[in-house]
Amino acid sequence: MKQKYHLKRFCLLAFLLFAILAIPSMDAQAAKVKPKTGTYIKRFHGEGFDAYGTVIIKKITKKEVTFQFCYESVLKVSYSRKIVGKRKGSTVTFQYKDMSWGEKGKGTMKLANNYIKIKAKANAHSPGYLGTGGKWYKLKRKSGSKKFRTF
């Protein structure tokens, strides 16, 4: 009788130990990146004016991300038309054309839950063109709006 009691107790403890060890792995699966469409913005504080870097993500699939890249300030506006980037996991590579200045560039975007990171470099050597100068910028999700801008 005591052996059955100890066996049941051992099985219960083994089950509880297994459940406790399995919880962190389930949390890791739940923490996978679930990127969202919408408008992502980074605000730059300038001398006497503010500027905004904006990425509007219209569609996300397993292989592609459709978006627009913009930069707006009092002094200039630069924007791309529709960009279709190639996606591998949470990383998106893309090429774009600056519709304001006519320059071309390429970049990389990393998708996260409520923000993205983007790095883009135009072929031009002027800071007036659309891009991040080869630096990573973190843009926070501000809204669910997917409407592309036209200037």
Indicate the domain borders of the chain. 1-32, 38-143
Mean pLDDT score of the chain: 81
pLDDT digits (tens, 9 = 90+) for 86-102: 999 999 999 998 887 78
According to the model, what pLDDT value does residue 26 have? 45
The pLDDT of residue 84:
97
Closest CA to 149 of 76, 95, 71: 71
107 CB-side CA count, 13 A: 29
Position 30 scores a pLDDT of: 41
Reported residue count of the chain is 151
The pLDDT tens digits for 108-143 are 999 998 899 999 888 765 555 688 878 899 999 999
Place of tokens 């063109």: 129
CATH number for domain 38-143, candidates 1.20.120, 1.10.287, 2.40.128, 3.40.50? 2.40.128
Instruction: Report the alpha-carbon distance of residue 98 to residue 127 in Å, rounded.
Output: 13
